[in-house]
C-alpha cells in the first residue's frame, strides 16, 4: 500500500448499521431524538456537510462489532492500536469538502461507506491528489496535455467499502449534486488510525519482543540520523518461528518521502530496515508469532 488502499466488503454486518440509520429517517414526521443530533458543518469554501459522532449515534450492540473490527484491522495491518472518535457524515445536494490535509491527527485516515447507491447522485467521491502532482516537475513532459483525471484519484463511496489513505496528501470530497434525501445521500464513517506501536499475536508477548526491538530501533535510528530528513510511516510485519527466528519479512505500508528529494536515500532506508529487522532473534515460544511494527519518520 502506497498512499491509499481500497477494501471491499469490509464488515459482514454492514446492513445492520445501515438499517439503523434508515430506521431513524423512516418517518419524516417523527421527533425521535436521533433526528436532532446532526451538526450542519459549514466552513465557507472548505467544508459543507452534515455530521454526528458515530460512536453515540448507533446502539452499542450494533456499533461495537464494527468498531472492534476496524481497530483490529489497524493493529494487524498498520500497527496502530486505536482509532480517533469517528464521525459519521451524510452529503446531500451541495455538500463537499475542498482539498485539505490532516497531518497531526494520525498516520493513516479512513473512510468507510454506508452509501446504498452512489449512482443516486453525482459526485461524492473521495478525492486524493496523485503523488506526481506533489512532485510535479520531476515527471513533467511538454509533449502532452494533462487534465483533471491525471491530477487526482476519485474513489466512489460504494457500500461496505473501506478506504485507507495517507492524510498528508491533499484530499477532499467532490460536490454531491442531485439528491436532498438523507437516505439516498453519500453516507460515510470517517476518522484516523492512531496510537502506532508494535503489535504481536501468537506465542510471543509484547514484553518478550520489546528488548530485541529496542536494540534494532536504536541501531536503525543511529544510521538514519546520518541521512537527510525524511517523513512518513513504514509498517513492517515479521513472521517469527517458535524457535525465535524470522521466517518472513513484509513491508505492509510505506509512505516515506525524502524532504531533500533524494530517492536513493529512501531506497537505502528500506534496505537498512530489512537488514536489521529480518535478522532479529526472539525468545522461544510454543507457537509462531506475527509482529507488526510501525516506524514513524518525522
Task: Fill in the DSSP letter of residue 281.
Answer: B
| Same domain as 97, residue 243 | no
| Same domain as 118, residue 251 | no
- Domain end marker among 175, 196, 217: 196
| Same domain as 176, residue 51 | yes
- Name the 3-class secondary structure at 24: helix
Residues in the chain: 298
CB 256 within 8 A of CB 233: yes
- Domain end marker among 196, 229, 254: 196
Task: Fill in the DSSP letter of residue 162.
Answer: E
pTM for the structure as a whole: 0.91
Q: What is the CATH number of the domain that holds 293?
A: 3.30.2420.10
* Cα 205 to Cα 22, 214, 246, 287, 289, distances in angstroms: 43, 15, 16, 11, 9
List the one residue out of 240, 215, 213 whose CA is nearest residue 294: 213
Enclosing domain of residue 12: 4-196
| Same domain as 289, residue 226 | yes
Q: What is the CATH number of the domain that holds 182?
A: 2.60.120.620
Q: Please give the Cα distance from 19 to 38 (Å, whole number).
A: 18
Count of domains observed in the chain: 2
Grid coordinates of 288: 509462531
| Same domain as 101, residue 240 | no
List the one residue out of 205, 112, 130 whose CA is nearest residue 169: 130
List the chain pLDDT tens, one digit each, 298 residues: 578 999 999 999 999 999 999 999 998 898 888 889 999 999 999 999 999 999 999 999 889 999 999 999 999 999 999 999 999 999 999 999 999 998 778 899 999 999 999 999 999 999 999 988 888 877 777 767 778 888 999 999 999 999 999 999 999 999 999 999 999 999 999 999 999 999 999 999 999 999 999 999 999 999 988 888 899 999 999 999 999 999 999 999 999 988 888 889 999 999 999 999 999 999 999 999 999 999 999 8
| Same domain as 159, residue 12 | yes
| Same domain as 190, residue 275 | no
Amino acid at each position: 500500500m502506497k498512499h491509499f488502499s481500497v477494501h471491499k466488503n469490509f464488515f459482514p454486518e454492514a446492513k445492520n448499521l445501515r438499517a439503523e440509520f434508515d430506521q431513524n429517517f423512516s418517518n419524516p414526521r417523527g421527533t425521535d431524538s436521533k433526528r436532532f443530533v446532526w451538526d450542519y458543518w459549514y466552513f465557507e469554501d472548505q467544508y459543507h456537510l452534515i455530521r454526528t459522532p458515530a460512536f453515540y449515534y448507533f446502539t452499542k450492540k450494533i456499533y461495537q462489532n464494527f468498531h472492534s473490527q476496524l481497530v483490529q484491522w489497524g493493529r494487524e495491518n498498520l500497527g496502530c492500536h486505536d482509532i480517533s472518535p469517528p464521525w459519521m457524515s451524510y452529503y446531500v445536494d451541495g455538500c463537499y469538502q475542498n482539498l485539505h490535509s490532516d497531518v497531526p491527527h494520525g498516520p493513516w485516515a479512513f473512510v468507510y461507506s454506508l452509501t446504498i447507491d452512489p449512482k443516486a447522485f453525482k459526485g461524492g467521491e473521495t478525492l486524493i491528489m496523485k503523488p506526481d502532482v506533489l512532485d510535479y516537475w520531476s515527471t513533467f513532459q511538454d509533449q502532452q496535455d494533462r487534465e483533471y483525471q491525471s491530477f487526482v484519484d476519485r474513489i466512489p463511496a460504494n457500500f461496505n467499502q473501506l478506504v485507507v489513505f495517507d492524510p498528508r496528501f491533499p484530499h477532499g470530497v467532490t460536490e454531491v449534486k442531485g439528491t436532498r434525501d438523507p437516505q439516498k445521500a453519500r453516507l460515510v464513517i470517517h476518522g484516523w488510525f492512531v496510537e502506532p506501536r508494535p503489535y504481536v499475536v501468537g506465542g510471543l508477548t509484547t514484553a518478550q519482543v520489546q528488548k530485541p526491538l529496542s536494540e534494532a530501533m536504536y541501531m536503525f535510528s543511529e544510521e538514519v540520523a546520518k541521512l537527510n530528513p525524511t517523513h512518513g510511516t513504514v509498517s513492517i510485519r515479521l513472521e517469527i518461528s517458535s524457535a525465535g527466528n524470522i521466517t518472513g519479512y513484509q513491508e505492509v505500508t510505506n509512505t516515506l518521502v525524502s524532504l531533500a528529494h533524494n530517492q536513493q536515500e529512501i531506497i537505502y532506508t528500506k534496505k537498512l530496515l530489512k537488514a536489521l529487522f529480518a535478522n532479529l532473534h526472539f525468545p522461544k515460544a510454543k507457537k509462531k508469532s506475527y509482529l507488526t511494527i510501525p516506524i514513524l519518520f518525522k
